[in-house]
Amino acid sequence: MNIDFSSEELAFQQEVQQFLQEKLPADIRERTLKEIPLDKESFVRWQKILYEQGWAATNWPMEYGGTGWTPTQKYIWANECANFGAPDVIPFGLKMVAPVIFTYGSEEQKQRFLPDILASNVWWCQGYSEPNAGSDLASLKTTAVREGDEYVVNGSKTWTTLGQYADWIFCLVRTGGPEIKNQAAISFLLIEMNHPGITVSPIITLGGHHEVNEVHFDNVRVPVANRIGEEGQGWTYAKVLLTHERTGIARVATSKKRLQTLKTLASETCDGGASLLENPAFAQRLAEVEIDLLGLEFTELRTLAAVSTGKAPGPESSILKIKGTEIAQFIDELYMETAGYYGMPFVREQFKSGFDGEWVGPGVISSSVPRYLNNRKSSIYGGSNEIQKNIISKWVLGL
């Protein structure tokens, strides 16, 4: 048992640092560190830089252009990215649909879709949740009725993150009638967004962000060739993917970086006669979350280590989601505590790129309340924390 990096790993760390130093655009870095949402152009620009480096797909096998990194290399990568202020890649193509395609797709589908995902030529979004379905994914109502070589799709998807930019959407749709058992009636379809029957309507969240959308399908005709794998197996594919996705969700590296930023801010914030960082009540809360994050980091490393010895991440990895979101949300609260009155101003203009007016409040702090509000979603989306607890209760504790 040890936590030392090998000399190869240390060399890799240096390579990563050098790359980020040289290639990460300053404007993207600044917005990321200030926790201001990026626009599409910035995301694409950064992903193309990663593509050129060969580092776009850290979770793909090498045969499709992935990095083939070890868990330790991924750990190093995530930490350095957070430290330098490199944004996370948009996961819908690279991390969500691609694994389904390279695991369950046909040879033709792989060749057709994977290169554009890798090169960030195509923006994907996710069509799982439906209005009123909440965490009960299997109850979905969007139908795909087969007519010859096409499916005719009708229904609505919701909470579609950044769907306003998307070229393609991957969807779970109902291909079987009511006579078929719920989950066996579900198929996995890839649908091009430029179809006239598709409309995207924005959902504005509490922090004032337009991040999520409703996507409506009105007699959208989709070639059968765009179905992944077999009809009626969509739920199986999606579930595998959901477990797969659970590790990144802890966002340990990001939370570590945010805590570090927070400490600097608190040390510069006056609180009575000393700095806020010296306020023992604040220091205690900060220490508690820092320690909990240390624990989470090692919980994630233990999971990764188990995965690297060939085990699939088990349902116990649900705690990564639970603790990861709890910690991130708690850090949001410490930001608000640090901001005091300046957490409240809600000045949308100053988050637009190119804003050159007078900034209200000191930098990253001044949007701490909107960010807190917006981040409440993280314990609701992606299988709410309550659903995660049900999973652990049933599959780990056997209750």
Partner 1 sequence: MDFSYSEEQQLLQNSVSKFIQQDYDFDRRCKIVNSDIGFSQENWQLFAELGWLMVPFKVEDGGLGGFAVDLMVVMEEFGRGLVVEPFLACAVLSGGLIADGASEAQKRELLGLLIEGQLQLAFAFAEPQSRYNLADITTTAVLDGDSYILNGHKAVVLNGGAADKLLVSVRTSGAQQDCDGITLLLVDTNTAGLHRHEYATVDGHRAAEIKFNNVKVPIANRVGGEGTALPVIGKAIDRATLALCAEAVGAMEKIYKKTVEYTKTREQFGVAIGKFQALQHRMVDMFTEYEQARSVLLMAALKMDANKGVAPKAVSAAKSRIGKAARLIGQEAIQLHGGIGVTEELDVGHFFKRLTTVQYIFGSTDFHTLRFAGH
295-299 long-range contacts, CB within 8 A, separation 24+ = 295/323, 296/250, 296/252, 296/320, 296/323, 296/324, 296/327, 297/252, 297/256, 299/250, 299/323
As measured in angstroms, the least distance from the Cβ of 18 to partner 1 is 22
Per-residue x/- mask for partner 1, residues 327 to 356, rule CB under 8 A? Answer: ------x--xx-xxxxxxxxx---------
**H/E element holding 223?**
strand 210-223
259 touches 327 (CB < 8 A): no
178 binds partner 1 (CB under 8 A): no
The site map against partner 1 for 311-330 (x = CB under 8 A) is -----x--x--xx-------
Shortest separation between residue 329's beta carbon and a second copy, angstroms:
21
Task: Report, in Å, the least distance between residue 186 CB and partner 1.
Answer: 16
Contact between 196 and 150 under an 8 Å Cβ cutoff? The reply is no
User: Does residue number 139 form part of the binding site for a second copy (CB under 8 A)?
Assistant: no
Residue with tokens 């805590």: 259
Q: Is 283 in the site for partner 1 (CB under 8 A)?
A: yes
Q: How far is the CB of 251 from partner 1 (least distance, A)?
A: 16
Q: Which amino acid is at 298?
A: F
Report the residue from 44, 259, 307, 396 that binds partner 1 according to the rule CB under 8 A.
396
Query: Would you call 8 exposed, middle or buried from its count of C-beta atoms within 10 A (0-12, 13-18, 19+)?
Result: exposed
| Active-site amino acid positions | 245
Q: Least CB distance from residue 376 to a second copy, whole Å? A: 23
In eight-state DSSP terms, residue 94 is I
CB of 13 to partner 1, least distance (A): 13
| Token pair recorded at residue 253 | 């590296």
- Interaction between residue 145 and partner 1 (CB under 8 A): no
10 binds a second copy (CB under 8 A): no
Q: Tell me: does residue 135 bind partner 1 (CB under 8 A).
A: yes
**x-marked contacts with partner 1 along 3-42 as a string, rule CB under 8 A:** xxx-------------------------------------
Residues β-bridged to residue 389: none
Q: Does 77 participate in binding partner 1 (rule CB under 8 A)?
A: no
| Tokens encoding 96 | 């969500």
280 binds a second copy (CB under 8 A): yes
| End-to-end alpha carbon distance in the chain | 33
Based on the shown chain and the rule CB under 8 A, indicate whether residue 380 belongs to the binding site for partner 1: yes
Of 154 and 279, nearer to a second copy (C-beta) is 279
- CB-wise, 2 or 194, nearer to partner 1? 2
Closest alpha carbon to 161 in 120, 118, 124, 216? 124
DSSP string, 97-127: IHHHHHHHS-HHHHHHHHHHHHTT-S-EEEE
385 binds partner 1 (CB under 8 A): yes
DSSP reduced 3-state for 246: coil
**Residue 82 near residue 153 (C-beta atoms within 8 A):** no
Q: Quick check: 336 and 397 in contact, CB under 8 A? A: no
Residue 53 vs 284, nearer CB to a second copy: 284
Q: Which of 138, 204, 225, 281 binds a second copy (CB under 8 A)?
A: 281
CA–CA distance, 171 with 180 (Å, rounded to integer): 19
**With binding defined as CB under 8 A, does residue 273 bind a second copy?**
no
The nearer residue to partner 1, 171 or 286, going by C-beta atoms, is 286
Which range touches a second copy (CB under 8 A), out of 65-73, 83-91, 133-141, 274-282? 274-282
Please tell me whether residue 284 binds a second copy under the rule CB under 8 A.
yes
Interface residues with a second copy (CB under 8 A)? 279-281, 284
